[in-house]
Every structure is written in structure tokens, then in C-alpha cells.
Structure 1
Amino acid sequence: MKLSVLVFITAMAVGLSIGLVNFYFQQSWYYMLISFGVSFITSFIVFYYLLEKYIYSKIKLIYKLIHNLKLGKDLKDALGEYVSSDPINDVEHEVKEWAGAKKQEIDILKKQEQFRKEFLANVSHEFKTPLFAIQGYIETLQDCITDDPEMAEKFLKKAEKNVERLSYLITDLDSISKLESGEIPINFEKFDFVVLAKEVMEGLEDKSRKKNITLFFKEKYMYPAFVMADREKIRQVMINLITNSIKYGKDHGSTAIKIFELHDQYLIEVTDDGIGIDEKHLPRLFERFYRVDSHRSREVGGTGLGLAIVKHILEAHQQIISVRSTQQIGTTFAFTLEKVG
């Protein structure tokens, strides 16, 4: 519509100009009117035909293609759709929107590529460390198995520990892969989370006692809290979070379990008063093999996959987990579970 008005105004201006010229040359109103009318009609037809054929129709085609390709249609099906009355502005809007979406896709792909590179490098490193250690122990065993049986036994035990570490790595990687693909089903059932949390704390008492760390519920959080979830997988979540708090907790410190009742959920917090985590590391804390301090992390053990497994388990429950921390004050992991009566 706007293009037609523009053509009409242009044709009128051209016709008026030609008419004025004729007026000055012929000095006759009669000839001027005839000339103006003929010029106007001719100009309008010519301009409209040219603009419609070579510009307007092309814009409509471009708009149809962009609009349909954005909807994910095949190129051969991208024609024949409805086009608005103002495709020029629509083309500009569509192109800007499409360009923005493509830029976001490219940014995401770049991040994924970087993550893939880091992940492969981390996997390689995590596997090479115990493999090289086992290789060294076996070579030493070959030299001392007959001359020094006692030393040989020590190397066998060290090799066994590294084999166990490899086994844990493979098991954890397999668990994450199956959780992502949905191969591990989530068996929902109603249970009391307080009872489960106490079972986990009792099972980890020996570990916490070695570092003189106290595990406790505050009295007001010890009432029954019935949730709908996979009991064994939530047990794994609690074991990983509490074990993590013990590893990085301070001697004679504590780890507290708190439960907050929300509208249709329970918010569970696992809080320690340990070394804390620098804020810059928090966004990447749930990535596979991401370690805040690689040297310290390997000293205290673990595969570097515990928090990634926790995140995947809770996502499979359609729940969320978050972390907040202050260095030298402590860390809190908080996650939600569906509440049931």
C-alpha cells in the first residue's frame, strides 16, 4: 500500500512537471490539461509496472523466503504463503531477528566447542594419571617381586588404588551418559527425606570423624518432609554433597542439613563452614572435571564428576540446584524436591 501511494505521488509529480512545460511552450489551458492527463497516466503505468516487476515482487519473494525458512520449512516449500501489506518493513525486521538468532547459535556453538576441547583434555589427563602410575608400579614390581616381597606388596596396593580410581571414573562417566540419554529411569516414590538424610549422615560418620567435622540437623528441620522422587538417586545426591563438604571442610568444622518448606516444594540446603569457593568459579562448578584447585582436589580424591552427577540427577527430576559461597566462610548447596502430603 505504501509503495502504491509512493508511485502515485511520483507519477503525479512527473505529470505535473510535463504539463507545466507544455503550458509555457503552448500557452494554452486546453493543451496543458490534455498533456498533463496523458503524461500522468503514462507515467503512472510505466512507474508502477517497473516498480512492481523489478522491485516490489522481488521484495515479496525475499520476505516469503526469509519468513518460511525461519519457520524451518524446506526451500521448495518457502513460496506461496501469505505476505503482509508492508513487506519492506517486515523484511528489515525479519532479517534483524534472524541475524540475532544466528549470532546466538554461533555463540552457543563456540562455547560448546570450547567445552568439548576442555572436556577431552580433562578426560585424557584424568585417565593418564592413574594409568602412568599403574605402569610405573608394575615395572617396579618386576624388579623387586622376588628380592623384596614386602616392597612388592606395597606397590601392588598402590596399583590397586589407581585401578579403583579408573573404575570410579568409568562408572561416573557411564552414569552421566545414561542420565543424559534417559537410559537410567527415574523411579518416583513417596518417602520421608529427613529419614533418608539421617541414614546418609550415619553412613558418613567415619569420614567426618577423621576430620573432626560434625554433621547435624537443627531441631526445627527434623519434622517429616515427604517428597516424590527416586529415593536411591537422591541418596546419591546427598552422599556426594556431604562428602564434598567433608573433603573441603576445615578441621573441627561442621556441615548442616536444613529443610525449608515452600509452596509445592522443599528446599534442601547442605552448608559447611570450610574453605569456600571464589565467586568466579561458581558458574562452572557443575561442569565435568572442573576443579577449583586441581592440585588440592586430587590430594583429597574424587573423580571430579560428583557435582556433575548431582546436577544431572536433579535435572532428571525436573528440579534445580544452586550454590553460593564465600571464601574462608563456607559453601551452601541448595536444591529442590517435589513436596507431597
Structure 2
Amino acid sequence: MSATMRAAVCVRAGGPEVLELRELPVPAVRDGWSLVRVAGAGLNRSELRTRQGHSPTVRFPRVLGIECVGVVVASTDPAVPEGTTVAAVMGEMGRAYDGGYAEYALLPNATLMPVASTLPWDLLAALPETYLTAQGALDALGIERGGRLLIRGGTSSVGMAAAAIAAGYGVETAVTTRQAGKVDALTADHVVLDDGGSLREIWPDGPEYVLDLIGARTAVDSLRLVRRGGTVCVAGSLSGWLIQDFEPIAMIPSGTRLTAFHSETMKGRTDVLQRIVSEVESGVYRPNVDRVFDLEDIVAAHRYMEDDQATGKLVVTLRHE
């Protein structure tokens, strides 16, 4: 193993161009942490917002990346020996310490999830954050067979994963997009442009559940759309993190529930991730990977993400010499 590695470093807050490919020392292993040779990393909008400067706790320069998959090459945990295929997600990865945009990542043992997989690296890299978030959000909603589920932000990777998982629950699902050109890429019982009126035509009295992945801009509207007594779960930040002038008593209909899901709660859930991997291998879930980039193309990847061109997941793969 070389003493140095390639890494995409966010040198300051700004546009995609602040991501610079640099040669860095391979991190030294220390107690409680293990070294992973990164094979792939999913891209996430939270990384985009961090790069833009909207994460005040993050100090630059920083190697971003809140998730990755790869192989342990130096372990301090007997439960995850060298040679183990692992996924890692969250746990302040790419924020408090360097993350997955690098050939190697030194990660806390608590974040490592060993998985048995025959999937190619780019497909495996598309799963951890996206599918764990989708599963956790559906759990937070408490969906039950026979219900109706609206997913706002349906062309996002989490939206598409949630629709795939929800199909197995036997719920009637509607997914939305704000872009007419992306309608044909969506699979659900109902696919609509997110203009409010069309949603009322499908379900005049509203769905029992709304998974809102757009977030701040649409959360209050989702509370109006959901059936009285239903549940809205905000689990995305496509439109930002803060709801301006939010008045809970005035804006949450009586009896309706507003909850949220953060993927940090799924950190270390190896059992859930392994089940997801198995479902993908068997063809039950069909992840939508929109595009795979090389690490050298990280600027183009972030520009593609920022321009909202993707329908599904974006992945960066690492080529080791």
C-alpha cells in the first residue's frame, strides 16, 4: 500500500470548483478506528450543502463524503478483520473527520457495517445512505398495508428507493416530480407533477402518509395535503433545512402528525443493510443509478448534482492501481 492517496478535498465553501484532487498521506490507524480502501461512494445533497458553506460546524479543508463501501485493510476491531467488505455511513463522516471522497478512509469502528455481497462496487455504493434512509423514513411513518403513500421528491435517489420498498408493503403509492421530463423514469401507482391540484384529483381526501423529501419549502403544504389524522415525515432537504415563520398550532391540522427522520439513527444497522443488499441481489429492489463518476470527475459530479440533472443515485468509484 502506498504512503499517499488521492482525495477530493473541499478547500473552502463555494461552488463545485472548490473540490480539488490532491495527494494526501494515507491516514494512520489508531485505537477504535480502522482503515478502509474505498471502492465507491454515493453522492448526497447534504455534501453539496456542506460544500456550499451551510454546515457551520464543518471546518475546511475537508474530505467530504458521508458514506462509502470498500474493504478493511487495517483493523482494530476483531469483529471486522482485514479483508472484510464493509459499508459506512454517517457518524459525522465527511464532517468532523474525512469521509469517502478518497482512496482510503480512516473510520470509527462503530460506523462499519460488514456485508456479504456479490454486487458490483458501483451498485453496492448506491445503497447505504439511500436505502437505509428510505427504510427508516417509512418506519417513522408507520405505514400499513392498504394505506396510501405520497412521496414528494420522487426522482431523488431516496424517493425512488422508498417507492421500491413501499411496493412490498402493499400500499398505494403516488410519487411526484417538479420536472415533466422525469415523469417517465418513475414507477408507482400514480406519477404526477407536483402542483398540488393533481394530487387532490388522485386522492380527494388525501393520503394517510406523506414522505416529504423536498423539505422546508413543501412541509407545510404536505400537512394540508395529508388526510386528517395522517402522518407527514420530513426526511429530505432538497429545498433547504429551515421552515421560515413556522407556527405549529396554526399549521399542523388537529390530529395530524408531523415527524422527521435522520439517517444517523440507522448508523450501524448491519441487519437492515444486509437485507437490502439481499433484496437487490434477488431482484426485488432495482436501484436506479443515474450516473457513475470517477474521483477525478468530482467537480463535474457535483455540478451535475447541483443542477438537479439526476434521476436516481449518483456514485463515485475509486480505481486502485
Q: Sort the TM-score into its range (normalised by shorter chain).
A: under 0.3
- Structure showing greater radius of gyration is 1
Per the normalisation by structure 1, the TM-score is 0.23
| Greater per-residue strand proportion | 2
Higher helix share: 1
Bigger relative contact order (CA 8 A; separation at least 6): 2
